[in-house]
Amino acid sequence: MRALLTLPSHFSREAARLEAAAVTSWEQLAELSDASLRSLGRSGGASEARLLKLRGQARLVVAVGLEPADAALLLYAGIATPAGLAQADPHRLLMQIGRLQRNLTGMAAPLLDLATVKAWIVKASRPRN
Protein backbone atom coordinates (compact mmCIF):
# COMPACT_ATOMS: atom_id res chain seq x y z
CA MET A 1 0.00 0.00 0.00
CA ARG A 2 1.16 3.53 -0.74
CA ALA A 3 1.15 5.74 2.32
CA LEU A 4 -1.00 8.86 2.20
CA LEU A 5 1.80 11.06 3.46
CA THR A 6 2.39 13.53 0.68
CA LEU A 7 -0.76 15.61 0.56
CA PRO A 8 -0.14 19.28 -0.22
CA SER A 9 -0.30 21.65 2.75
CA HIS A 10 -3.53 23.24 1.45
CA PHE A 11 -5.21 19.85 2.10
CA SER A 12 -4.24 19.84 5.79
CA ARG A 13 -7.82 19.73 7.10
CA GLU A 14 -8.70 16.90 4.75
CA ALA A 15 -5.53 15.02 5.70
CA ALA A 16 -6.39 15.39 9.38
CA ARG A 17 -9.94 14.06 8.83
CA LEU A 18 -8.68 11.12 6.80
CA GLU A 19 -6.12 10.28 9.44
CA ALA A 20 -8.77 10.52 12.19
CA ALA A 21 -10.92 8.10 10.17
CA ALA A 22 -7.96 5.70 9.89
CA VAL A 23 -7.69 6.22 6.13
CA THR A 24 -3.94 5.94 5.73
CA SER A 25 -3.40 4.72 2.17
CA TRP A 26 -4.34 5.66 -1.36
CA GLU A 27 -6.13 2.30 -1.65
CA GLN A 28 -8.38 3.05 1.31
CA LEU A 29 -9.14 6.53 0.03
CA ALA A 30 -9.98 5.20 -3.46
CA GLU A 31 -12.60 2.90 -1.93
CA LEU A 32 -14.48 5.54 0.08
CA SER A 33 -18.09 6.07 -0.93
CA ASP A 34 -19.72 9.42 -1.61
CA ALA A 35 -21.60 9.05 1.69
CA SER A 36 -18.36 8.48 3.58
CA LEU A 37 -16.81 11.56 1.99
CA ARG A 38 -19.90 13.62 2.83
CA SER A 39 -19.66 12.48 6.44
CA LEU A 40 -15.96 13.31 6.62
CA GLY A 41 -16.62 16.67 5.00
CA ARG A 42 -19.27 17.60 7.56
CA SER A 43 -17.00 17.06 10.52
CA GLY A 44 -13.70 18.68 11.29
CA GLY A 45 -13.77 21.48 8.75
CA ALA A 46 -12.75 19.30 5.82
CA SER A 47 -14.11 20.20 2.39
CA GLU A 48 -16.23 17.55 0.69
CA ALA A 49 -15.18 18.90 -2.71
CA ARG A 50 -11.52 18.55 -1.81
CA LEU A 51 -12.11 15.06 -0.46
CA LEU A 52 -13.75 14.14 -3.77
CA LYS A 53 -10.69 15.44 -5.64
CA LEU A 54 -8.41 13.45 -3.38
CA ARG A 55 -10.48 10.30 -4.01
CA GLY A 56 -10.22 10.90 -7.77
CA GLN A 57 -6.47 11.26 -7.38
CA ALA A 58 -6.37 8.08 -5.30
CA ARG A 59 -8.30 6.15 -7.95
CA LEU A 60 -5.78 7.18 -10.61
CA VAL A 61 -2.90 6.23 -8.30
CA VAL A 62 -4.38 2.83 -7.48
CA ALA A 63 -6.00 1.78 -10.76
CA VAL A 64 -3.38 3.11 -13.14
CA GLY A 65 -0.28 3.00 -10.94
CA LEU A 66 0.54 6.68 -11.28
CA GLU A 67 2.58 8.68 -8.84
CA PRO A 68 0.37 10.94 -6.70
CA ALA A 69 1.79 14.11 -8.29
CA ASP A 70 1.08 12.79 -11.81
CA ALA A 71 -2.47 11.84 -10.81
CA ALA A 72 -3.01 15.33 -9.37
CA LEU A 73 -1.73 16.89 -12.59
CA LEU A 74 -4.17 14.80 -14.62
CA LEU A 75 -7.05 15.88 -12.36
CA TYR A 76 -6.22 19.53 -12.91
CA ALA A 77 -5.99 18.85 -16.65
CA GLY A 78 -9.54 17.49 -16.63
CA ILE A 79 -8.93 13.73 -16.36
CA ALA A 80 -10.78 12.48 -13.28
CA THR A 81 -11.06 8.73 -13.82
CA PRO A 82 -9.04 5.85 -15.24
CA ALA A 83 -11.73 5.46 -17.93
CA GLY A 84 -11.33 9.11 -18.87
CA LEU A 85 -7.59 8.64 -19.16
CA ALA A 86 -8.04 5.49 -21.26
CA GLN A 87 -10.22 7.47 -23.72
CA ALA A 88 -7.88 10.49 -23.91
CA ASP A 89 -6.12 11.55 -27.07
CA PRO A 90 -2.41 11.52 -26.15
CA HIS A 91 -1.47 14.57 -28.23
CA ARG A 92 -4.34 16.67 -26.90
CA LEU A 93 -3.69 15.55 -23.32
CA LEU A 94 0.00 16.39 -23.63
CA MET A 95 -0.92 19.89 -24.85
CA GLN A 96 -3.39 20.37 -21.96
CA ILE A 97 -0.85 19.22 -19.39
CA GLY A 98 1.89 21.35 -20.93
CA ARG A 99 -0.28 24.48 -20.76
CA LEU A 100 -1.24 23.67 -17.20
CA GLN A 101 2.36 23.10 -16.12
CA ARG A 102 3.50 26.35 -17.72
CA ASN A 103 0.66 28.26 -16.05
CA LEU A 104 1.36 26.74 -12.64
CA THR A 105 5.14 26.64 -12.59
CA GLY A 106 6.43 28.58 -15.56
CA MET A 107 9.19 26.72 -17.29
CA ALA A 108 10.77 25.56 -14.01
CA ALA A 109 9.15 22.12 -13.99
CA PRO A 110 10.24 19.55 -16.54
CA LEU A 111 7.51 19.02 -19.08
CA LEU A 112 6.15 15.56 -19.85
CA ASP A 113 6.82 13.83 -23.12
CA LEU A 114 4.43 12.05 -25.45
CA ALA A 115 5.83 8.61 -24.58
CA THR A 116 4.96 9.10 -20.90
CA VAL A 117 1.42 10.24 -21.66
CA LYS A 118 0.92 7.31 -24.05
CA ALA A 119 2.19 4.91 -21.36
CA TRP A 120 -0.35 6.32 -18.88
CA ILE A 121 -3.15 5.82 -21.41
CA VAL A 122 -2.05 2.22 -22.09
CA LYS A 123 -1.99 1.48 -18.34
CA ALA A 124 -5.45 2.98 -17.92
CA SER A 125 -6.75 0.90 -20.83
CA ARG A 126 -5.70 -2.41 -19.33
CA PRO A 127 -8.41 -4.45 -17.58
CA ARG A 128 -8.19 -4.21 -13.82
CA ASN A 129 -8.56 -7.15 -11.48
**Residue 1 pLDDT greater than 60, yes or no:** no
For residue 128, what pLDDT band results from cuts at 50, 70 and 90? Answer: low
Give the burial class of 74: count Cβ atoms within 10 A of its Cβ; 0-12 exposed, 13-18 middle, 19 or more buried: buried
How is residue 96 annotated by DSSP? H
Q: Between 128 and 21, whose confidence is greater?
A: 21
What three-state secondary structure class fits 3? Answer: strand
Neighbours of 88 (CB within 10 A): 22
**Residues 6 or more apart from 46 whose CB is under 8 A from it?**
13, 14, 16, 17, 40
CA 87 to chain centre: 17
C-beta separation of 71 from 6 below 8 A: no
C-beta separation of 55 from 29 below 8 A: yes
**Residue 5 pLDDT greater than 70, yes or no:** no
C-beta separation of 16 from 5 below 8 A: no
**Residue 2 pLDDT greater than 80, yes or no:** no
Q: For the segment 51-91, what is each residue's pLDDT rounded down to a tens digit?
A: 999 999 999 999 999 999 899 889 989 998 999 999 999 99
Say which range, 31-35, 60-64, 109-113, has the weakest mean pLDDT.
Answer: 109-113
**Residue 44 pLDDT greater than 80, yes or no:** no
